[in-house]
Amino acid sequence: MALPWNTEVLDALQPILEAGAGAPAPAVGDVATRRANSEALFGAISATVPETGVSVHEFRTTSADGAVVPLRLYRPVGPPTGSLVVYFHGGGMILGSLDSYDAIIKANVAAAGVPFLAPEYRLAPEHPYPTPVEDCYAALLWAAENADDIGVDGDRIAVAGDSAGGGLAAGVALLARDRQGPALARQILVYPMLDDRTTSPDPALGDVLTWSFEDNVTGWSAYLGALAGGEEVPAYAAPARAQDLAGLPRTYIDVGGLDIFRDEDLAYAQRLWRAGVETEIHVHPGVPHAFEVLAGQADVSRRVLADRARYIAQI
């Protein structure tokens, strides 16, 4: 039996569900259709986000392979806080961009009152592992190296991201620990995509999935190729594979009860606790992946956004 929905969120999703009714779901491996669908959806979402007054400043850095990675620094209205969030957008490793996430990032910056630095990391399948996580790590290095110039305390830098971006944030935290890179103050993982082995449908989640198991197989296969699901997947690609989580920064995780990432996120939180990492986790019943973006006015969405802003403001 499927778990019940939060009715307020389900009502808010009805226009999206009705718009897609009758259209066949993209086949496993069809990245192009998923990209087209996501761009249309993010365009509609961005149109509903109010203006925030957040300013945007363009920079760039160089990734491990010598490629240029564009960066955007988002500054809130008000005096500097000294802290910084290096933020990685979601999209299943195959979707999304700084432009499609621009309004969402601005809203988060305005709510928390903390600047964000976001890289335009390259996407799979054109750029499989390790390119996306190395691009993201390069953004963290740039932030640490330029902290004084951008008015940031180098001891108060966090990494964060949603969905695939949450997985990338977790991967960057592992890289920073293992390479003796910048010491992170926090990692904020929003329904993070952590485990390439999450591929088997769960009847308890029902049929209305805003990120499906077929989507997940597509994303991980694009990112990892033939490695996906096997024994040789690196922890920096799929952080659930990490053998040791000790020494990671204080962690915040939230996820919906109808999200296919729920169980892997809970398992990661439990392993962080056992490794001695202070971890705060919220599981919101009756809501799917990206619920707070798709149903922003719902009470549960307001609560989760307030929780994230509270946590970020403490950095």
Which positions are catalytic?
A: 163
Structure tokens at 270: 């439990």
For 155, list phi and psi in degrees, rounded to 5: -90, 0
Nearest-CA neighbor of 180 among 141, 231, 224? 141
Nearest-CA neighbor of 12 among 247, 288, 282? 288
For residues 52 and 90, what is the distance between their CA atoms, to the nearest angstrom? Answer: 21
Alpha helices per DSSP H over 47-147: 98-112, 131-145
Give yes or no for a contact between 193 and 161, defined as CB atoms under 8 angstroms apart. no
Residue 239's alpha-carbon distances to 133, 197, 289, 308, in angstroms, are 11, 11, 19, 21
Residue 84, strand partner residues: 157
**DSSP output for 181-218:** -PPPSEEEEES----TT--S--GGG-S--SS-HHHHHH
Q: What angle do CA 130, 91, 295 make, to 5 degrees?
A: 155
Structure tokens at 302: 């307001």
Where on the phi/psi map is residue 308: left (φ > 0), alpha (ψ -120 to 50), or beta? alpha
Where on the phi/psi map is residue 47: left (φ > 0), alpha (ψ -120 to 50), or beta? alpha
Nearest-CA neighbor of 96 among 124, 56, 54? 124
